Amino acid sequence: MLLSQALDTLHSFSPDNLSTLSELLDPKLIEECLQDTGTVTLRKRRLPMELMVWSVVGMALFRNSPMSQVVNQLDIVLPGKRPFVAPSAVVQARQRLGVEPVKAVFEKTQALWRDKTPSPHWNGLTLLGVDGVVWRTPDTPENSQAFARTGTKTTTSDYPQLRMVCQMELTSHLVVSSAFDCISNSEVTLTAELIDKTPDHSLTIFDKGFYALGLLHRWQKTGEERHWMIPLKKGARYEVLRKISSGHELVELPISPQARTKWSDAPATMTARLITKMVNGKRVQILTSMTDPKRYPAADIVDLYAHRWEIELGYREMKQHLLHSQLTVRSKKPDTVKQELWGVLLAYNLLRFLMGQMAYSLKGVEPYQISFKGAAIYLISQLQMLPMVSPGNIPRVIGQIIGIAAAFVLPIRRERHYPRAVKRRPQKYAVRRPRKKNASQLN
């Protein structure tokens, strides 16, 4: 039985905790995405396009296995004279599949996940975070031509790199949208691609590196109640329109002519709310589009900014736990590199959705309180065995997944007692140091 067929049998099994898994993994959804992107199989192949989507997801789920083994391991090869397929056939099938179908599957599935996964709100707003991350690609001529390298006047990076910007729901860690391109593109440029995909009635928390008033103005004017929050830039100019209370002001910020040229709809000035608070002896200033002090209390806003670190933890889960700290992607051509990254986001959302269902089966547990590393190892092993389970036993297997949820609940997070710092990466081998010359050797 194929993996997609095994998952499709979940249509007949709909407990409250996992009623949407079949909707997410329905093969009909993948076929719909293939049709929408114009990707069709003209003749019968052993690796049809609808099943190759799962191979791209499997690249992330089974990071340490070669691609040909992933295809055979997931049992997505149609019957033929040989039980296995050649590695070259897998490469050709991925090239025929392209980037757009995998991207379309990601976008449709994340919408299903968010609609079916309950997420806490703050004053009627969904908490979202936006931040950037860098991926390395293999040093091939194609990747070197398509992607740039970071460096200084004297040195450059050893690998071509991509810059990715993601928008993440901060309680479930589900990736809502993403944009990535050559490392030479700035995070602000890529973030502009996420504006139209941002859900209404949401609050997006930005890092200080995203301070661009033209971007923030367009963000809040597109859609309904799309609010933002960001630290005030050091040395930023503003005029106080009204002082609401101590450390709480309504301000007007000028938008530079250069910014108005880049952002054609940007006005000369924009109004925002500035909140100042002392946190551990440090003065913190937060700028936000939530100008209504009655609906959005100032006492909660500064503390709310600490939730921005959830997206940093999400990137750590992708790179360290899901991909086993193998920071260079597998693919050797630009299109398959992008295809692989969409597969990573899709695989991460798949695991995070299951962990969300595990968390909500327990009382008082949020999805971010589930250990990603421990739960991911368990869930991947269960997905790997699912094709060999008879359809009648699949509800029992799914019930076991939900039943073991309590074993992956993390303890309460402790406050940081040491400053943040970049630490030296541990070395596998001892470093040889030069011997000190004594006086007799000098003579």
**Tens-place pLDDT, residues 327-369:** 899 999 999 999 999 999 999 998 898 888 888 888 888 888 8
d(CA 116, CA 108): 13
**pLDDT-based confidence at residue 392 (cuts at 50, 70, 90):** low
CA separation for the pair 356, 405 (Å, rounded): 10
Specify the pLDDT at position 385.
66
Residue range 421-436: average pLDDT? 75
Q: Are strands 202-206 and 175-182 parallel, antiparallel or unpaired?
A: unpaired
Is the pLDDT higher at 283 or at 381? 283
The least confident of 79-93, 109-123, 350-364 is 79-93
Mean pLDDT of the chain: 80
**Segment among 105-119, 197-211, 226-240, 290-304 with least mean pLDDT:** 105-119
Distances (CA, A) of 1 to 98, 262, 389: 26, 54, 8
Nearest to 243 by CA among 219, 275, 200: 275
- Please say if the pLDDT value at position 257 is more than 80: yes
| Radius of gyration of the chain, Cα coordinates, nearest whole angstrom | 25
- Is the predicted pLDDT of residue 418 greater than 70, yes or no? no
pLDDT in tens, 157-171: 889 999 999 999 998
Largest CA distance in the chain: 89
Domain locations in the chain? 3-103+332-408
| 371 contacts: CB under 8 Å, gap ≥ 6 | 408, 409, 410
Question: In angstroms, rounded to a whole number, what is the distance separating the alpha carbons of residues 122 and 170?
Answer: 12
Strands 202-206 and 125-136: parallel
Q: Which residue has the higher pLDDT, 88 or 124?
A: 124
Residue 278: the pLDDT is: 84
Side-chain half-sphere of 204: how many Cα atoms within 13 Å?
29
pLDDT band at 237 (very low <50, low <70, confident <90, very high): very high
Give the mean model confidence (pLDDT) for residues 140-150: 91
CA distances from residue 3 to 6, 18, 56, 288, 384 in whole angstroms, order as listed = 5, 18, 14, 46, 9
Range with the poorest average pLDDT among 216-225, 310-319, 351-360, 431-440: 431-440
Q: What average pLDDT does this structure show over 98-106?
A: 89
Higher-pLDDT residue of 179 and 421 is: 179
**Predicted pLDDT of residue 69:** 72
The pLDDT value recorded for residue 293 is: 86
CA distances from 157 to 142, 144, 315, 383, 427 (A): 16, 11, 21, 37, 20
Percent of the chain scoring above 90 in pLDDT? 38
Say how many CA atoms lie within 13 Å of 251 toward its Cβ.
21
Q: Give the pLDDT band of residue 3 (cuts 50, 70, 90).
A: very low
